[in-house]
Amino acid sequence: MQTLLLGTISGLTIFLGLPIARLKPEAEKYLAFMNALAIGILFFLFFDVMKNASGPIEDALRAHSANVWLLLTAMIGGFGVGLLSLVYYGKRFLAKGGIPPQKLALLIAIGIGLHNFSEGLAIGNSAHTGEIHLALLLIIGFGLHNVTEAFGIAGPLASQKVRWTYLALLGLIAGGPNFLGTIIGFSFISEPITILFLSLAGGAIMYVIGELLASGRKIGFHEWSGWGLTVGFFVGLLTDYILVAVGA
């Protein structure tokens, strides 16, 4: 119960970063910065997710394990489903001039939720094997990481009037799966399931990055976009270094 409670808190720290969506920049250059900030964070998250998904496959290849085909299928299948399902979903809105910002934020929340599910699996697995110290470090590190990921959700909403109830819904979608992942991870350990959900997240994040890039081109102010990309990527990298520093 303690592990479950702390894992839930780790996921819900995403609420700490969501209020930034209530800011209403007056100048379009700040909108360009916020949009690019979200892209930078999501680009780093995509890199991090796919690195973690491919790690077990590389280990299986080195060990000449017969399990490698199952792991590879989980990664390819998960990535394809995560990306293509959103491609076909997005076709409904592209004909009307693009995906509305609130629905785009929802898609980002879904992608981050899939990622947080895999983080919950890691927390639950560590607690299940008796590595309570590692589980606590993961909770602290992932909690910090989630605050940063919230900026990715908030980016498309910078120019919109957003209700607190909708932000709460986005927070539950993005952070709630940490709770489910912790339960499942504590019950049993499965590399294919972890890889599957990481790859689902990777495919979804890639789709969203493409949509945000299209939005950024419409806004303009490329120098502000450049700064947003730089800051977003290195903020994500910094939180990852914090995870490494605490031993996660």
pLDDT tens digit sequence for 112-124: 888 778 777 777 7
Asked if 199 contacts 77 with a C-beta cutoff of 8 angstroms, the reply is yes
- How far from the centroid of its chain's Cα atoms is residue 176's Cα? 12
| Distance in angstroms (rounded) separating the CA atoms of residues 76 and 88 | 18
| Distance in angstroms (rounded) separating the CA atoms of residues 48 and 162 | 29
pLDDT of residue 224: 85
Smallest Cα–Cα separation from 154: which of 10, 75, 5, 39?
Answer: 39
Asked if 212 contacts 156 with a C-beta cutoff of 8 angstroms, the reply is yes
Q: Where does the chain show beta strands of DSSP type E?
A: none
How does DSSP assign 104-131, residue by residue? HHHHHHHHHHHHHHHHHHHHHHHHHTT-
Tokens 């947080």 correspond to what residue? 116
**Eight-class DSSP state of 165:** H
Asked if 185 contacts 125 with a C-beta cutoff of 8 angstroms, the reply is yes
pTM beyond 0.85, yes or no: no
Residues of the chain whose pLDDT is less than 70? 2-3, 6-7, 21, 23-27, 92-98, 126-145, 159, 243, 246-248
pLDDT of residue 228: 87
pLDDT of residue 76: 94
pLDDT of residue 129: 60
Q: Residue 21: CB partners within 8 Å, gap ≥ 6?
A: 105, 153, 154, 157, 158, 160, 162, 167
pLDDT of residue 71: 93
| Distance in angstroms (rounded) separating the CA atoms of residues 160 and 21 | 8
pLDDT of residue 202: 84
Tokens 């639950």 correspond to what residue? 124
| Distance in angstroms (rounded) separating the CA atoms of residues 88 and 73 | 22
pLDDT of residue 139: 63
pLDDT of residue 57: 92
Q: Tell me the two tokens of residue 98.
A: 């693009």
pLDDT of residue 72: 93
